[in-house]
Amino acid sequence: MNRKYRKTVIAGNWKMNKLPSEVKPFADELKTLVPKQKWCDVVICAPFVDLPAAVKAFRDAKVGVGAENLNENEKGAFTGEVSANMLTDLGVKYVIIGHSERRQYYGETDFSVNAKVHTALEAGLNPIVCVGESLEQREKGITLELIALQVKTALSGVSADKMRRVIIAYEPIWAIGTGKTATAEQANEVCSAIRGVIRDIYGARVARSVTIQYGGSMNEKNAAELLAQPDIDGGLIGGASLVPEKFAAIINAANQD
């Protein structure tokens, strides 16, 4: 973290978990466990059908609500899809774009990610853009090149002004849901390289201010060590965000003075 220059953002990614009726009990418990966040922004990204309940339940708390995907088109004949304006109309503020599960199971590419980033920014949403390498790619030693390409393509055509609303989440695929976390040094190395790519495109000031999260088996035990790294400005948390006590402990780790 580097609170002098940029926001720390702790975001939960519920994936395809939690019923709409489970949202309020979760929110009530989280609000009791974390009465106020001093230093970090907190976000809950939830399935589309949970979003109305989440916006309502977190309205009186400083917790932003995010979607887990959106369609890149403004509106029209796209059966089963959800547009950016539908999300903002509900009061949703964030959207995860290009999560590795969407790339793996739903054919999303760096180019579709780029289109979605533009759509989200145009609508006033804050995109959380996910990048990350597979185990095979890491073992071949091409992690930094691959991540640089993902970041450059995802941000292609995004203005420096709009970059202020973009969050990047570095999520090594081999660490997601596996209980295998990248070491703090491994995670920081890639987050720092991502900041370098942003510096090359946008200059030092923008690079210094962009929030770069780590994601992949982040939990209440390893959060403090990961967040102590200079280039890790928060987390995108799957499994541990489903349990109020665990998610609260991660928020508290980011709130340490």
Binding site for ligand PGA (CB under 6 A): 13, 171, 176-177, 215-218, 236-240
User: In 3-88, which ranges are E strands?
Assistant: 8-13, 40-45, 63-67
Closer by beta carbon to ligand PGA, 176 or else 249: 176
Could you write out the DSSP letters of every residue in 104-137? Answer: HHH---HHHHHHHHHHHHHHT-EEEEEE---HHH
The DSSP bridge pattern shows strands 94-97 and 167-170 to be unpaired
| Minimum distance of ligand PGA from residue 56's CB (angstroms) | 24
| Minimum distance of ligand PGA from residue 74's CB (angstroms) | 27
| Minimum distance of ligand PGA from residue 158's CB (angstroms) | 22
Q: Which helix (H) or strand (E) holds 234?
A: strand 234-237
Closer by beta carbon to ligand PGA, 93 or else 102: 102
For residue 99, indicate whether it is catalytic.
Answer: yes
| Residue whose Cβ sits closest to ligand PGA | 238
Closer by beta carbon to ligand PGA, 174 or else 202: 174
Q: Coil, strand or helix: which one is 138? A: helix
For residue 118, indicate whether it is catalytic.
Answer: no
Amino acid at 201: I
Residue from 99, 101, 133, 220 carrying the catalytic annotation: 99
| Minimum distance of ligand PGA from residue 161's CB (angstroms) | 27
| Minimum distance of ligand PGA from residue 112's CB (angstroms) | 18
Closer by beta carbon to ligand PGA, 45 or else 207: 45
Between CA 131 and CA 77 the distance in angstroms is 29
Chain centre distance of CA 196: 19
Closer by beta carbon to ligand PGA, 127 or else 238: 238
Q: What is the 3-state secondary structure (H, E, C) of 139-205?
A: HCCCHHHHHHHHHHHHCCCCCHHHHCCCEEEECCHHHCCCCCCCCHHHHHHHHHHHHHHHHHHHCHH
The encoded tokens of residue 5 equal 């220059």
Closer by beta carbon to ligand PGA, 69 or else 217: 217
Between CA 122 and CA 227 the distance in angstroms is 31
Residue from 72, 101, 108, 171 carrying the catalytic annotation: 171
| Minimum distance of ligand PGA from residue 178's CB (angstroms) | 7
Q: Which helix (H) or strand (E) holds 43?
A: strand 40-45
Residues identified as active-site = 99, 171
